Structure 1
Amino acid sequence: MPNSRPPAALPAAPAKVTLPGGTDLFRLHSATRSGLDFNPRPAHPFYGGGRFDATALDDYGYLYAGLTPAAVVCESLLRSVPFDPDGGPRLLPRAAVRGKALSFLRLAADVTVLPLVTGRDLAAVAQDAWLVQTEAAEYPFTRHWGHWIRTHTAPWAQGFLWPSKREPAERVAVLFADRLPAAALADHGLPPLALDSPDGGEWLNSVLEPYATRMAPL
């Protein structure tokens, strides 16, 4: 519903989901920064940016992660990767992972998120599946809706949880730095995996295989 404005109030009480301390998270990010660093840079209100990024209209640190490796790989890397018309595997361009790392994180405290998973979840925030399934061209609208949802669920909603568009059986999340306690995230104990390294490429191909995809050859 990109052309509808949010109503004055929530139509129902949103659900709450607790991600318990110890929950594993997987984050794909630039290798130039730590996997624990929240993105502090607001997106432009109309151009670029992600589904629920901050903007100057609602400025907060944000961090996207998957609850499984498949979730973060599919959500981050399988956008607009076409299938081979001859039935071969899809080829993920190596440029897509150049300079990227996968960090293995865990929650060090319980975190309460607002689920955007079921029709009931979405109806409680006056929305439908468009909010979590639409493509990047409409992200300015989803950011606006995300800011409205944050406003009406302050201070308890410390993030949102929804199904990965490219792997609906798995969940992805965005966490809000301004609502999390200090040190709510921790390293899992494993070093970040450089996805453009031989080991990273081998790991990535093992995750991509069930999705009829592999890294493009050198």
Structure 2
Amino acid sequence: MDGKTLRPFPYRFRPHWEILPAGTQLWRMHSSRYAAGEFKPFHPDDPAPGRFHGTPEDPYPSLYAATDPETALAETLLRSLPIDRGTGMRLVPRRSVLGRSLNVVRTRCELRLVSLCSGAALAAVCNSPELLESEGPEHYARTRLWARELRAEAPGAMGMIWGSKRNPSRYAVVLFGDRLADHAGGPLEALPYRSIPDLGSPEGIKEANQLLEPLRSAIDVPLHG
């Protein structure tokens, strides 16, 4: 994967596919500015674009989610977070959850996703586990270019699915908003139960920490509040 590669891309992808049926539930942690099923639009001045965000040449809206609430939290909050030697826990700064929500949505249509869930699936799209394991702005700049090429070669892809780095055996997904824009009523239906509308509130922190506890992680709140 070479971040300096320009089109035409030198490889041809042969994606493995994963089909999520209509009615699948997905959880997402997101800025409270967005509704539960709302895609984040591409913005060229985004200060922290994600691993598979759009690019100026392919400015698609995106939505990241997971197959369970614990993984949705872990994929966002536990990135490169070490175990605290004093507590034996991963301690998440409270500022990381301010202005953020956890919601569950249900798919209204079948989703055809490119699978990144095995070595063979990654090789089929000319990549390796490093695509999903490395972190940081320079790496993400390369993965966004790779995602642009994947979308160009696989116009039927509605998103991608991969094994969670931070909660193995569970899965994370990214959905491409432009490939789902024609669905009447929107591709995702918000479900009210198990949502945490304000993760930074005392009640929100309590609920989130119950979900994070099996992963030996917690939102760290100073004793003075």
Q: Which amino acid aligns with 2:54?
A: A
- Superposed, 1:6-85 pairs within 5 Å as 7-11=9-13, 13-43=14-44, 48-85=48-85
- Pair 1:118-2:121 in alignment: no
Q: Distance in 2 between matches of 1:5 and 1:168?
A: 31
- Pair 1:214-2:218 in alignment: yes
Q: Distance in 1 between matches of 2:164 and 2:5?
A: 24
- What TM-score does the superposition give when structure 1 sets the normalisation length? 0.91
Q: Distance in 2 between matches of 1:86 and 1:25?
A: 34
Deviations 1:109-148 (A, max 9, x none): 1110001110111111111111111102310000000100
Deviations 1:48-100 (A, max 9, x none): 31000011111111111111112111100011322122353222110010010
Q: Does structure 2 retain, via aligned residues, the 8 Å contact 1:104–1:192?
A: no
Q: Does structure 2 retain, via aligned residues, the 8 Å contact 1:26–1:103?
A: yes
Q: Distance in 1 between matches of 2:26 and 2:52?
A: 18
Deviations 1:21-65 (A, max 9, x none): 1111111111122121111123569x7310000111111111111
Among 183, 189, 193, the alignment partner of 1:186 is: 189
- What TM-score does the superposition give when structure 2 sets the normalisation length? 0.88
Q: Distance in 2 between matches of 1:128 and 1:17?
A: 18
Q: Which amino acid aligns with 2:191?
A: H
- Superposed, 1:158-177 pairs within 5 Å as 158-177=158-177
Q: Distance in 1 between matches of 2:16 and 2:122?
A: 10
Residue 200 of structure 1 corresponds to 204
Q: Distance in 1 between matches of 2:128 and 2:4?
A: 12
Q: Does structure 1 retain, via aligned residues, the 8 Å contact 2:90–2:218?
A: yes
Q: Which amino acid aligns with 2:117?
A: V
Residue 101 of structure 1 corresponds to 101
Q: Does structure 2 retain, via aligned residues, the 8 Å contact 1:116–1:162?
A: yes
Q: Does structure 1 retain, via aligned residues, the 8 Å contact 2:78–2:90?
A: no
Q: Does structure 2 retain, via aligned residues, the 8 Å contact 1:42–1:60?
A: no
Q: Does structure 2 retain, via aligned residues, the 8 Å contact 1:21–1:110?
A: yes
Q: Distance in 1 between matches of 2:211 and 2:44?
A: 30
Q: Does structure 2 retain, via aligned residues, the 8 Å contact 1:30–1:101?
A: yes
Deviation at 1:163, TM superposition (A): 1.4
Q: Distance in 2 between matches of 1:42 and 1:77?
A: 22
Unaligned 5+ segments in structure 2 are none
Unaligned 5+ segments in structure 1 are none
CA 1:2/1:150 → structure 2, altered by over 3 Å: closer, same or farther? same
- Superposed, 1:126-137 pairs within 5 Å as 126-137=126-137
Q: Distance in 1 between matches of 2:3 and 2:173?
A: 25
Q: Percent identity of the aligned residues?
A: 34
Q: Does structure 1 retain, via aligned residues, the 8 Å contact 2:83–2:89?
A: yes
